[in-house]
A and B are shown apart, each in its own frame.
Chain A
Amino acid sequence: MAAVEKAEQRQPWREFWRRFSRNKLAVVGLVLVFVMFFTGIFAPWLAPYSYTDQNLDAVEQMPSLAHPLGTDELGRDQLSRIIWGARTAVIIAPTATFFGVSLGLLFGLLASYYRGWVETLIMRLADILFAFPGILLAILIAATVQGRIEAWLKGFEALEGFVKAGFAQVLVVIVALSAVGWPGMARLVRGQVLALREEQFVEAAWAIGAKPWRVITRHILPNAMVPIVVSVSMSMGGAIMAEAGLSFMGIGIRPPTPSWGALIIDNYSFWRSPAAPVLLWLPALIVGAMVAAFNFVGDGLNEALIPG
């Protein structure tokens, strides 16, 4: 009897993994994502050198035993800088995505819940942000908030170290990316909610007297989760790419704070040098690989979570 019960028990996680792992690329992507988080979190223990250690006797060296990926023009160990870059990515990608998605979720729900002028206002605002050239808006926002955030953080003496460690720049990038990122999510959420509110189970929830907010959070939102989760995964990759773009324009992460975007920019002048593969291509390819990895995971989630 017990055996029968066990066999019949639903095992959602195992089922999810079975479906997710059918997509080989998604598994590869997931592994890459894990590697990135692991490297970022344990950067201080993994990196052989500090990212600011300069060895002016060993500048622009090709890979060797002492420096597996060579050194840059200031003699800084490239491997260590890439490892520390993972930490910046691990801070920026989830945080920017979190704020962008939360704002989008909030505005999308408000729009589809209140309808009327609230909806008009929010969706028109989203239209406006869409019509804005994206990267320029991010640049303008970043440039505008930069001084303010730095000044604000300097107000807290305890945070002095953070500001010096480039924390303010990270915050600027997060603010800019969240501000530019939410309209897409708001549109997605609103579309989902508007489609679901016509479904019978929602009507049933109304019929038994559920309050509106409960209908939205308990009945509609869980059913709208799949596209939201998928787009969260994809926007993590997008955030990494956008950080590289902002840094390239000199707005995002600046030296000596290591980020993959900043590494690409720092070493761009080496494009014809024989060291280009390690100094320039490697960070560039890592950015590309992480964008791809998050897209694969998104595809895999999509296939695994949609029934049928």
Chain B
Amino acid sequence: MIAYLVRRLLWLPFLLLIIAFITFALGLYGPGDPVLVMLGQHANPEAAARVRHELGLDRPFLVQYADYIWKALHGDFGESLKYRGQPVGRLIATRLAVTVQFNAVVIAVGLATGIPLGILAALNRNNLIDYSIVLLTVAGISLPVLAVAPIAMWFLAARFHLLPSGGWGGILSRRIIMPTLVLAIGPAAVFVRQTRANMLEVLDQDYVRTARAKGLRETAVIVAHALRNALIPLFTIFGLMLGGLVGGGIITESIFGIPGIGRLVWDAFTARDYPVIMAYTLLVAVAYTMANLFVDVCYRFVDPRIRYG
């Protein structure tokens, strides 16, 4: 177990080095010039060259890369090119706080609706309730946010003025309701589908029959015996969603005007603000890898049958 953990963790630095390399290369050879974005398209070539030199952008690729890695190892992710003078670390931390809060609410709402609906569907196997829930789930998994958002906004904001169309005022503000409603559909549908499938499988198991045979009340059978085992596989999805917490939807945050990290990255991309893009990519890669590791390790405790070599 320890050896397994160490092996997995040792891979992380290499992963980050390569990801940084790819992003760096795409940034350098990609279109657009951050200096021209800063100074305007018709900037004086001499001024542009001076700024480029000041920023160290005229050095060879590998030197810039090595310099970046060296500073990043010391916790310095450079300065944003768009917001001059702002360290990327602080810029990201502020936006990250918004994204994490928002995504946490979305996942919580997804869990709170998905699991009960999944149980309900499983307990009503193959009747009208089950079919309606399954159909809703299918729609929820297929419909992209890009499709649901305008419809929800039209009805709830434009037509009937029930809710603000988005924006950010913290998790207790009314503004969060609309984006949450739209975004929680996906996770909720995933949870419904998994809970239903797992419940159906578990309800056929011998130990559930045993529990019934010894005369337990149906609620006790379902809650204590079936549900406990049915929820274990959900842990994986939940864990990976936690990893996605920091990602932030580049598209969704733009649609709903949430000043999170996705929005930051989008702005950074249009301004060719590569220090921000670099830091974001590394952050997401770390979160993704750690979430995977966390799920694998925790699984061992939740499901003692699993062993890692």
Contact = CB atoms under 8 A, between A and B. Distances in A.
A212 interface: no
A222 B289 CA distance: 33
Contact of A128 (B19, B138, B142): B19
B180 interface: no
B15 A131 contact: yes
Contacts of B29: 144
B26 interface: yes
B142 A132 contact: no
A288 B288 contact: no
A140 B23 contact: yes
A248 interface: yes
Q: Which secondary structure characterizes the binding site on chain A?
A: helix
Interface residues of B, number: 41
Nearest to A295: B142
A284 B154 CA distance: 13
A175 to B, nearest CB: 13
Contacts of B144: 241, 244-245, 284, 287-288, 291
A158 to B, nearest CB: 25
Contacts of A280: 150
Interface stretch (A94-102, A199-207, A264-272): A264-272
Interface string B154-193: 1001100000000000000000000000000000000000
B146 interface: yes
A280 B158 CA distance: 14
A195 interface: no
B250 to A, nearest CB: 6
Interface of A: 25, 124, 127-128, 130-133, 135-136, 139-141, 143-144, 146-147, 237, 241, 244-245, 248-249, 261, 264, 268, 271-272, 276-277, 280-281, 284-285, 287-289, 291-292, 295-296
10 contacts: A127-B11, A127-B15, A128-B19, A132-B19, A132-B22, A133-B247, A140-B30, A146-B31, A276-B154, A285-B143
